[in-house]
Amino acid sequence: MRIGRKHLMLDTSWQEFSNCLGVDPDLFFPERGASTREAKEVCRGCVVKDDCLEFALANGEKFGIWGGMSERERRRIRRQRALERQAAALTASAESA
C-alpha cells in the first residue's frame, strides 16, 4: 500500500510513558518568539524523548516542541541527515563505478 508521506510513522504507543502526560499542551506550542524553556525542561528527563523526536522528524511536524527540540532545531537535524544521506549515496556510487 502506498502512503502519502514517505516515512509516515503511526506508532504512538510511546506517548503513554511521556513526561508531558497531563501537562498543558499549549506549553509545547508557544507563540512565535515565546520561550520554549519550560517545555524543554519537561522534556529533559522524558524517557521517550528519542521516540518523540523521531516521530516528529518522520512525520514532518512543523510546529511545537518534540523530543525537547524546537522546530528550528529539528530542521537542522533533517538538513544534517539529508546531507549525510547524500554523502553516503555519493560514496556508494563512487565505489560501484
- In the bound state with ligand SF4, the residue whose beta carbon lies nearer, of 15 and 80, is 15
Toward ligand SF4, which CB reaches closer, 12 or 86? Answer: 12
Interface with ligand SF4 by CB under 6 A: which residues? 18-20, 28, 42-43, 46, 48-49, 52, 65-68
What is the smallest separation between the CB atom of 27 and ligand SF4, expressed in angstroms?
9
Of 4 and 25, CB closest to ligand SF4? 25
Residue 52 · residue 66 · CB < 8 Å: yes
8 A C-beta contact, residue 37 and residue 74? no
CB of 26 to ligand SF4, least distance (A): 13
Q: State the minimum distance, in angstroms, from the CB of residue 14 to ligand SF4.
A: 7
Backbone angles phi, psi at 66, to 5 degrees: -130, 130
How far apart are CB 87 and ligand SF4 at their closest, in Å? 29
Burial-class residue 39 by CB neighbours within 10 Å (0-12, 13-18, 19+): buried
Give the end-to-end CA distance of the chain in Å, rounded to a whole number. Answer: 34
